[in-house]
Chain A
Amino acid sequence: MRQSSPSKKMTRLPQKIRDRRCAEKKIPVLLHVNTSIFTSHAITLVSSMTTLTRQDLNFGQVVADILCEFLEVAIHLILYVREVYPSGIFQKRKKYSVPVQMSCHPELNQYIQDTLHCIKPLIVKNDAEKIVVVIMDKEHHPVERFVFEMSQPPLVSISSDILLSHVEQLLRAFILKISVCDAVLDNNPPGCTFTVLVHTREAATRNMEKIQVIKDFPWIVADEQEVHMREPRLIPLKTMTSDIVKMQLYVEERAQKAS
């Protein structure tokens, strides 16, 4: 069964980056705020009223960490809920104060972690426009696409204390929505596999070498076949707006799944 051996997938270059020529979209501008006042701070988010600014080197990192953690949980949950892998490999763990299902399979976990490790630099620079978890059937035609559209607003400073608990609440809502998405989606055919695509904004592919941060984990440009679906149906799941990120989750589903 293909899905039982993600390691094989790795050597066959499964991950893809789709370079989007989206000239019609505005490239979000990182505000280079020329303030002479730098807030000095120890970057410990535990302390109250620590303000973070974009000049702060760690701000992008912090946001990227939060988002990558969330994406890891979300991907595991999608694999569980859509039954891409048998439920026996999943184990209940706690995240954002609620139980979530995470896989225990070491290779699968490593694969997902490596994927996100490569995506993180894109998120730091706000180059990642969409992260897509594609579920494909045996013939490698996409059957479902879980699209996480994200954009980071050009933010100057925020208070971290209230922020994180608010973000946690929003992410919890995402988790809940993924858990119940079964009701609005048709069942998938057996023998499905998954992959992760990243849609980047324009300039990102110039730094493609930087994306190959993990050896033996190469990224390649995606085929049309794997990116586009025939007759997609759009089902929105959740939207969130917060100070650090705007994220939208929707599912594109193929009208006829059993081929």
Chain B
Amino acid sequence: MDDLYLENIDEFVNDQNKIVTYKWLSLTLGVHVNQAKQMLYHYLEQKRKESSGTRLHATYLVSGKFTQNGNTCHKVAVVREDQLEGLKSKMIVTASIHVYSIQKVVLKDSGPLFNTDYDAIKENLNICSKYSAIRCASAVPRSSAEISRLQEIAQGTPPASEGQQAASKLSMNGHSPSALKPATQQPKGIMGMFASKAASKHHETSKEVKTEAKEDSVAAEASNSKPTSKGSALSNFFGKTATRKTKPSPQTAEVVIKEEEASSAASPASKEEDEPSSSSAAKQVPAIKEEKPKTSEAAPKKRKDSKTKAKRLERSDSEDDKSESQQKKRRRIKKPQPDSSDDEIIPDSPPARDVKTPSPPPEAEVKKERATHTEDAGGIKRRKRRKVLKSKTSLDDEGCIVTEKVYESESYSDSEGDFVKSNKQQLSKQPATLRATGGKKVEDKKSQKKSSANKGTKQASIMGFFQKK
């Protein structure tokens, strides 16, 4: 082949800043896919030798034999160049490696790769397999009569069976689901579980029981494979988006899966299709069914529990989930409030405080608690000293009678509380200057609290800030 293609690829990659996948290239230039792969390889070699100009990045498709959790499977993965060696070393047998795409940009996720191919294939839908290396003699387009017949049948079956079929296919193909798409399988497993739960209520056939059990174990394995698949390069490539995808999603999913794991731990990891397992599957089913109503009911509760648990566990991973950390903050701030209301000895925060006060209900609660607290503190009669505003008349220097309102300390006990309250309503407000003199501080504060319950002192102590939250 002539070298014109090198210039073409150069133009695509450098000038147009495109992502050149081998599939796209084969459709664009009209060459067989294998030829396209070779073209990309040659181009890459040439550019690397030149080692000038902009740096190019490539992704590779690696396929081969791979063991995971003791299961061997044939793994096909698209990896970035920096992860290539890592994956190759982990594979037992590497069947094939070829260049998947070349682009200028460092790809953060696989979305653009799909995007590139999508339009190319869509435009060339009739010839999309013309250059392909995959051949199947019996793969011919259906006739329209067949299509209409199938459509009628498809409308008859419930849509929920789709999830089951997908899950059953997964278990048939592999022993463990391939790590290629751990993220997509997990939601499928979960949605399949919920879908099959609804379906099983209606149908309750043995077949669906089986698939349900399969799904559970599949989902369990999916969750198993997820944390362990961190070793695989693919999950590194998708890894950040895949693993983090599950975290923001409600953590009931993880809780439910963990429960299912526990229940289906006895079931063999592979070979669900075997007949003997149907009995164990049948045993599992009542357990699973029981758990499901529980989980669905307890789901809202568990969401909270699991979230608080997860928060304690993940406190160190502060980067991971902002919404979580914000909820953390909210929870922390709210919690001290009911605690502090019992211990407080401070005046009620005045209503004249700034706008950042929380919702009224907690405020009302706090006030009520305080009110009851003052009355409940008795049972035991305590004598306390408090300051009372009294008017004193006295003779002035010039012989005038002067009436002063002065705070005087006075001892009283709780039983006189009511009487005291009514008294204090007539008092004018001069707490600031006179409070410092005499009396015991604790009692002052208590009395102050009482008085302010009625008149609402403006002066707030520093504790008022915390109690409001």
Contacts and interface: CB of A to CB of B under 8 A. Distances in A.
Contact of A172 (B109, B115, B240): B115
B322 A176 contact: no
B319 A87 contact: no
A87 B111 contact: no
B111 A92 contact: yes
B323 A92 contact: no
B45 to A, nearest CB: 21
A182 interface: yes
A101 B109 contact: yes
A173 interface: yes
Nearest to A165: B122
B248 A180 contact: no
A4 B17 contact: no
B321 interface: yes
B419 interface: no
Interface in A142-191: 169, 172-173, 175-176, 179-184
Contacts of B109: 92, 99, 101
Interface string A60-100: 00000000000000000000110000111111100001111
Contacts, number: 81
Contacts of A173: 119
A180 B105 contact: yes
B17 A183 contact: yes
A74 to B, nearest CB: 14
A81 to B, nearest CB: 7
Contact of B319 (A88, A107, A172, A176): A88
Contacts of B245: 91-92
Given A89-B321, A92-B241, A106-B323, A172 B108 contact: no
Contacts of A81: 108
B116 A101 contact: no
B104 interface: yes
B333 to A, nearest CB: 15
Contact of A176 (B116, B122, B244): B116
A179 B111 contact: yes
A105 B322 contact: yes
In which size bucket is the chain B interface? 20 to 34
Nearest to A90: B241
Contacts of A181: 105
B119 A172 contact: yes
A4 B322 CA distance: 7
A104 interface: yes
Interface in B187-238: none
A182 B240 contact: no
Nearest to A98: B115
A107 to B, nearest CB: 8
Nearest to A185: B105
Contacts of A4: 322
Given A88-B240, A91-B241, A184-B17, A99 B108 contact: no
Interface in B102-128: 103-106, 108-112, 114-116, 118-119, 122
Contacts of A100: 111
Contacts of A182: 105-106
A176 to B, nearest CB: 5
A87 B114 CA distance: 19
8 contacts: A86-B319, A87-B108, A91-B241, A101-B109, A169-B119, A180-B19, A180-B105, A183-B54
